[in-house]
Structure 1
Amino acid sequence: MTLIAPGGHIGILGDGQLGRMMALAAAEMGYFVHIFGQEENSPAAQVSHRSTIADYNDKIALEAFANSVDVVTLEFENIPTDTIMFLNDIVPVRPSRQVLEVTQDRLLEKSFINNLGIGTAPFANVESIGELTHAVQQIGTPAILKTRRLGYDGKGQTKIDHASQIDTAWSEMKNAPSILEGFVNFRLEISVIVARSANGDIQTYVPVENRHKNHILDITLAPANISEPVAKRAEEIAQTIATKIKLIGLLAVEMFVTLEDDVLVNELAPRPHNSGHWTIEACATSQFQQIIRAICGLPLGNPVRHSNATMINLIGTDIDQWSDIIDDSKNSFHLYGKAESRAGRKMGHVTKLLPLDEKPEI
């Protein structure tokens, strides 16, 4: 892998807040960033050297974008794989199309994880009302019906508590290929962010606890309140997946910790993750600096935290509290440059650092 030294140009597919924080980290490290997105005055474009606004299938725009940068990465995984393949003929794209093919499809993703000997919730492929009926009989209720592709933050899913809800649930999916997942009785939800370079070097951040509200991440506590063996198992799972999927970049592995302290994988995200925002203030190397290091062929940075942390998302009208948040000198305040607040829209986040011997909590 060719080293891309500071002064090089990095292309980012996607123009939201993750792209924004990646661009800021890249600039601090001496790189120029070119954003490829679809929104005027986007959060990422506001802080980047260049931006292109075009469809992800616009090959003329994609070719010009690829020829202007030394490497391409992404801030969200729902980029057409044909786009990745087209770009990769011109410039390296990290992570690869093969990584996206797995992580864009819940069936392929869970099958890949199970084939590594790693547990998930029980699941079944569903492509018709008949298959859904059979899956409910097999897995039982309660269960969650999710579209195989394009779902996030609770979108594209519905809960089935009783067999009588099967028709309504399938109608909500609009005949989209889906999976039915059995309900996991978990003690808490955690995530591990792992970085892997082209030469196989791996670094992981400490497992963190994630608490959700209305299917959207609300609070992250770093570190998670779990035993050392459970934390070690979670990190080993993340490292195994990153290695076997041949990741170059960053991967967030969302997991359940059961009442029996088993660790089950829920979802994968091959990019920086909301649950890693605390690393900006609390670690020697943030998740955003780490992905720049990984895709540019630099040595991976130290992910060890110097502080514990509580991270709170500012969603919708939460942003109206900005003056009170700033008044507290212990808060690190991040806004994403979004002009309009809407219900469920991530507008920013707040991180509060704590001593390593103090348990993070709200």
Structure 2
Amino acid sequence: MSTRKQVIWWGTAGAVLLLVLWLLGQAILPFIIGAGVAYLLDPLADRMERAGLSRTMAVVTITLGALLVFITFVLFLAPIVLRQASQLVEAAPDMINRLQEFLVARFPSILAEGGPVESSLNNLSSLIGEKGGQVLTSVLSSISGVVGVIALFVIVPVVAFYLLLDWDRMVERVDKLLPRQHAPTIRRLAAEIDNTLSGFVRGQGTVMLIQGTFYSVSLMAVGLPYAVAIGMGAAILGIIPYVGTLIGGATAIGVAMFTFWDEPLWIAVVAAIFIIGQVVEGNYLQPKIVGNHVGLHPVWLLLALSVFGSLFGFVGMMVAVPLAAALGVLVRFGTDRYVESPLYTGVDPDPELPEPVLVEMVPAGTLLTMMRETAGDDTLPVAGQARAQPAD
């Protein structure tokens, strides 16, 4: 198949896939989540198989453990986070008003009445008060409407269970269906995508879990209100370097200033918690857990989340990370091919020489001798002799 036909074929297949994702996104979301769960848990199932368990027992054990963790999160942690997030949104306008009063009392020249700073604080306070609760409610309602209770508790676990059970066989089957001409290249690109995606998702997920636990427990020990919501929010936003620490740290310090107004020591302790968290993340967690081999740049990831989220909604955000990883690997592969091509070098490649033909020189009559020995026929003439003629 020519290159032009291959580009048309694969381009059409990709367009059909995006069209199906756009038309059936809400319906196939539980299956996408189930496939993602199976992909993330497959290495654990393989490790348990190597330890001596059968594939079925390994999958059953993993599924029960995952369901237990999920139910625990829904029953205990999620209500705390949602309640504290709602309370923080409701309390934010009052905190901004108190900050405004403090600035007016201490710095009257900077915060003149009717000035731009005062107007900005007033607008921010009204915006948070009016829109903050609506945004939080709409996000929660959209997530619950998209995912659905049935999808979460029935479809996703069932899909994840069966995909995890047959994951290795599915990969083997897909490998057999690869175009033979491009199979080695596709395998290499798939391995790079898997390395990028697994390194980022599993590594970054572990980092987020460690950070969220550290921030939440530390802030709770200090006695800071909304500690769990702030800690979890900072960990989730930590998917983009420094953003989680800056936003979470600013929020925590702002809350600490109003909570520990007469105790500046505790405000400094809250600031120190986020400084320690950032230092540990940058110098230990990211290099040791995520590593430098991931190759998924934060700006590229943010662009993928924005684009796919705007095009396909919540489903697009779910598939943004794997698609960003795949596109990143394909872009690097295309860049390498471009650097090697005449379009970059300006030099036509040397024409490919035909395969050499090996010619072996043997004495005359060798073929007849070999045929005579193979057939065991004495009537065949020996090399250098004529066939005997019968007498009259």
Q: Give your verdict on TM over 0.5.
A: no
Greater share of residues in helix: 2
Q: Which structure has the greater CA radius of gyration?
A: 2
In the superposition, the TM-score normalised over structure 2's length comes to 0.25
